Amino acid sequence: MTRENIRTPDGGTIELFSTGAELASAGSGVVVVPPSMVTAADYTKFAQKLSAALGRPVHTFNRRGRGSSSPQPEDYTLDVDIRDLDTVMKHTSSTDVFGHSFGGAVALHAARTLPVERLAVYDPAVSVNGSVTADWIVEYERAIAAKDDDRALAVIQRGLEAGGAFSSRMPLSMLTLANKLTAGTTEGKQQRELMRTGVREIKAIIAADMPAEPFQALPLETLIVVGEKSPAYFGIACGQIHDVLSGSSYTILPGFGHDGAIKAPDKLIKELSDFFAG
């Protein structure tokens, strides 16, 4: 894996990681757009397996507010990530894109205007006809104002059903206690560092809500994958996009939830490598 910092047209910096860079002569790479509250490092296993299966490079990057990439602007909108994805695609000469969760929402909106040839998404957190709501943000902001990061994180986890149906039904006090106990772990620290950028991104998703019809501008070859155990709201938006996009493929990854892409199961890697191989 190689690492480099690349410049954006607005003077910012994007931290880029390339797996299988020595395979560049085999064809353009696949750019991976990661979700909220994770970093490019969380996709190392995924990138390695997909690159090996494809025999082509796979590029992951830290979106703004992560690693050595520029901070996320206070007036953040999805356009920031769309422009950054455009920069990464041009720098790597890549035309295939994979997006997961919030990264899937960025990819879906971006592929309506960027030169994406093949697009695959897993549980894209895109809002279609109001499919994504976040009434819990008010409670989150109260916890932030009280400087109670453990409770603020618990509100996010329950609101997004991030830990599955079980955690979404847990009392907030129990989730808060669990977060206190994991505050010193690598994952706990990362979630606290990224939760403010994550909530800003959720607000941007809701602000970009639209009907399904504009997604007809997506590439003809679009693959939509939803985890069997993922929260239902992912499937609601994906189903609407699939209905209007005549060339899309829609599939369910059995046995996996929202973190299925990070776990990089062989079944998902096989499906993606077959798709990106054309």
Helical ranges in the chain per DSSP H = 44-54, 78-92, 102-110, 137-145, 149-160, 165-169, 172-181, 186-207, 232-244, 260-263, 266-276
Which pLDDT score, from 0 to 100, does residue 26 have?
A: 61
In this prediction, residue 164 has a pLDDT band, given cuts at 50, 70 and 90, of: low
Mean pLDDT along residues 171-178: 90
CA–CA gap between residue 42 and residue 34 (Å, rounded) = 9
In this predicted model, what pLDDT tens digit does every residue of 113-122 receive, in sequence order?
A: 999 999 999 9
Q: Which residues contact 127 (CB under 8 A, 6 or more apart)?
A: 105, 205, 206, 208, 209, 210, 237
Which pLDDT score, from 0 to 100, does residue 218 have?
A: 94
Which pLDDT score, from 0 to 100, does residue 168 have?
A: 61
Residue 166 has pLDDT above 60, yes or no: no
CA–CA gap between residue 97 and residue 95 (Å, rounded) = 7
Residue 25 has pLDDT above 80, yes or no: no
In this predicted model, what pLDDT tens digit does every residue of 43-102 receive, in sequence order?
A: 999 999 999 999 999 999 999 999 999 999 989 999 999 999 999 999 999 999 999 999
Q: Are the CB atoms for 227 and 260 separated by under 8 Å?
A: yes
* Cα–Cα distance list, 274 to 200, 245, 271 (Å): 35, 20, 5
In this predicted model, what pLDDT tens digit does every residue of 213-235 receive, in sequence order?
A: 999 999 888 999 999 999 988 99
CA–CA gap between residue 273 and residue 278 (Å, rounded) = 9
Q: What is the 3-state secondary structure (H, E, C) of 47-110?
A: HHHHHHHHCCCEEEEECCCCCCCCCCCCCCCHHHHHHHHHHHHHHHCCCEEEEECHHHHHHHHH
In this prediction, residue 137 has a pLDDT band, given cuts at 50, 70 and 90, of: very high
Higher pLDDT, 247 or 162: 247
In this prediction, residue 15 has a pLDDT band, given cuts at 50, 70 and 90, of: very high
Give the three-class secondary structure for 17: strand
Which pLDDT score, from 0 to 100, does residue 53 have?
A: 96
Give the three-class secondary structure for 225: strand
In the chain, how long is the greatest CA-to-CA distance? 54
Which pLDDT score, from 0 to 100, does residue 80 have?
A: 97
Most confident of 19-33, 76-90, 149-163, 174-188: 76-90
CA–CA gap between residue 250 and residue 122 (Å, rounded) = 10
In this predicted model, what pLDDT tens digit does every residue of 240-273 receive, in sequence order?
A: 999 999 889 999 999 999 999 999 999 999 999 9
CA–CA gap between residue 235 and residue 219 (Å, rounded) = 20
Place of tokens 């493929």: 249
